[in-house]
Amino acid sequence: MGEAEHPLQAYLDALYLKYKPLSEGKLASYIPELAKADPDCFSICIVTVDGQIFEVGNADQLFTIQSISKVFVYGMALAEHGREKVLSKVGVEPTGDPFNSIIRLDEYSKRPDNPMVNAGAIATTSLIQGTDPTDRLNRMLDMFRNYIGHDVYIDMSVFMSERSTGHRNRAMAHLMRHFGMIDANIDEALDLYFQQCSLMVNCCDLAVMAATLANKGVNPITGDRAVPSHCIRDILSVMYTCGMYNYAGQWAYQVGIPAKSGVSGGILAVIPNQVGIAVFSPPLDANGNSVRGIKVCEDLSHQFELHMFDLPMGCSHFLQTLENKP
Ligand code: GLN
């Protein structure tokens, strides 16, 4: 007789069937290669901090990570340079503007608002250290490998597609170079940014990456450290306030979980000290977020009481904090 199905698996199977018929949303087409995605592809994966994996749908389907990479490269920059240096080049303010907006850069701050929008992400990427472009790319791939737990690859056709059409990103990079927010060679920094966006992952990889953030930076499957634990709070803070584009405020209000989405249709969400969640479904809403992904996360948040302000009752931790400090 087979083992009884775990209740979480049964719940995910039902959630998948609930949203599978949803046909709203459009594929991203401003990066020509992304328009070739299969709109029916849909998967959900949850990985716990003790390494259990629950998945449903085409969880092996590969896609490019796109903006979700911004989270991890931000962590790498924090680890390499420390918070003060990174803050001098990239802020932590939500914009309320689309992810590819250029307007605020020139009009207001000169410094990109936060590392989750394109301008801030390009500035963050330009901070990555290395002796030459190959060394920087290899160091970045090593970082991603630690989060994912196996070898990683870049989708060359998506990379080339973005590289030849990403004029808005190029314009932002030049503006930031003008304002002294980027010191590096512009073309090299942009190539590295397009490469990080073209990293190939599947839904399960994303959930392991999320679980690594939930697990204070240690991959719960391999036991390898991907990022120093002291960087986790900073990473999750910007995910919470800025991770869902110009939907970030409503997301914080309704779902209440640090998360990041990408235009290929992925959403990665972190429940600190508990689980990592990933959803993949390419059709996007007007803000650039996966339509099915938003629905799934809303349901999970309500069902499992995941909103950050639904913390369990009790004051013992608060009262003991000073006692535990010298
Ligand atoms: N590579 C994409 C871009 O730079 C990433 C955007 C996204 O996923 N929101 O436009």
Closest residue by Cα to atom 6, ligand 1, is: 67
* pLDDT at residue number 103: 74
Percentage of the chain modeled with pLDDT above 90 = 83
Q: Give me the phi and psi of 267, to 5 degrees please.
A: -135, 135
DSSP state of 263: T
Q: Over range 112-137, report the average pLDDT.
A: 96
DSSP H or E stretch at residue 24: none
* pLDDT at residue number 316: 85
Please identify, by atom number, the ligand 1 atom nearest to the C-alpha of residue 68: 8
Residues labelled as active-site residues: 67, 70, 193, 245, 263
Rg over alpha carbons for the chain, rounded to the nearest Å, is 19
Cα separation, 87 vs 124, in Å, equals: 10
What's the mean pLDDT when you consider all of the chain? 94
Q: Residue 244: is its pLDDT beyond 70?
A: yes
Q: How far is the CA of 52 from the centre of ligand 1 (A)?
A: 31
The one-letter amino acid at 68: I
**Poorest-pLDDT segment among 13-17, 98-102, 148-152, 304-308:** 98-102
Q: How far is the CA of 263 from the centre of ligand 1 (A)?
A: 6
Does the beta carbon of 238 sit less than 6 angstroms from any atom of ligand 1? no
Closest residue by Cα to atom 2, ligand 1, is: 66
* pLDDT at residue number 62: 97
Q: Which residues contact 22 (CB under 8 A, 6 or more apart)?
A: 291, 292, 295
Inter-CA distances, 184 with 87, 92, 137, 173, 273, Å: 17, 21, 14, 10, 36
The domains located in the chain, with CATH, are: 7-63+203-324 (3.40.710.10), 67-197 (3.40.710.10)
Cα separation, 224 vs 150, in Å, equals: 11
Does the beta carbon of 289 sit less than 6 angstroms from any atom of ligand 1? no
* pLDDT at residue number 101: 77
Q: Residue 1: is its pLDDT beyond 60?
A: no
* Cα–chain center distance at 186: 23
Closest residue by Cα to atom 4, ligand 1, is: 118
Cα separation, 198 vs 139, in Å, equals: 16
Does the beta carbon of 263 sit less than 6 angstroms from any atom of ligand 1? yes
* Test site for ligand 1: of 34, 118, 194, 242, most ligand atoms within 8 A of the Cβ: 118
pLDDT tens across 69-123, in order? Answer: 999 999 999 999 999 999 999 999 988 777 777 777 777 668 898 999 999 999 9
Does the beta carbon of 262 sit less than 6 angstroms from any atom of ligand 1? yes
Please identify, by atom number, the ligand 1 atom nearest to the C-alpha of residue 67: 8
pLDDT tens across 194-238, in order? Answer: 999 999 999 999 999 999 999 999 999 999 999 999 999 999 999
The one-letter amino acid at 255: V
pLDDT tens across 160-172, in order? Answer: 999 999 999 999 9
* pLDDT at residue number 2: 59
pLDDT tens across 7-32, in order? Answer: 999 999 999 999 999 999 999 988 88
Q: Residue 150: is its pLDDT beyond 90?
A: yes
Percentage of the chain modeled with pLDDT above 70 = 98
* Test site for ligand 1: of 27, 65, 67, most ligand atoms within 8 A of the Cβ: 67
DSSP state of 109: I
* Test site for ligand 1: of 125, 197, 239, 284, most ligand atoms within 8 A of the Cβ: 197
Q: Residue 145: is its pLDDT beyond 60?
A: yes
Does the beta carbon of 281 sit less than 6 angstroms from any atom of ligand 1? no
Please identify, by atom number, the ligand 1 atom nearest to the C-alpha of residue 197: 1
